[in-house]
Amino acid sequence: MPWSKNDYPTSMKNLEPKVRDKAIEIANALLRENYEEGRAISIGTAQAHEYVEGKSEDRPHYEVKPRQDEWIFKKAGSNHVQFKEQTKNDLLEKAKTYVNEHDGILSIFHADGSHEKTLYE
């Protein structure tokens, strides 16, 4: 089923309008090429982000990591700590706001130092 600017998958409802419009366009093209609906949505959304916002390697990468008895927020590859808090949740509030304002990508780590998830790719 082709989508439009007024009728699109619920997974696209929180996308910025420019990204959503491009995702709809790409997903519809993939449907015409007989892609499965879920795959068309996923690919369309990822490619729309790249088209509108640029490739992820062009965007700054940040990290929320544990350090001794605190949590730190820093730019990936840097030793300079931008924020630190006693709890991960307190730090994430600041970090998410900062990363969104700087159109970045945020890698979040578990207390044991292993990678948990990446946001805003």
Cβ pair 63, 91 in contact under 8 A: no
Burial of 62 (0-12, 13-18, 19+ CB in 10 A): buried
Left, alpha or beta for 37 (phi > 0: left; psi -120 to 50: alpha)?
Answer: alpha
**pLDDT digit string, tens, across residues 43-84:** 998 888 888 876 656 788 999 999 999 999 999 999 999 999
The residues near 58 (Cβ < 8 Å, ≥ 6 apart) are none
pTM: predicted TM-score of the whole model, two decimal places? 0.55
| Residue 71: predicted pLDDT | 97
SS3 59: coil
**pLDDT digit string, tens, across residues 92-103:** 999 999 988 888
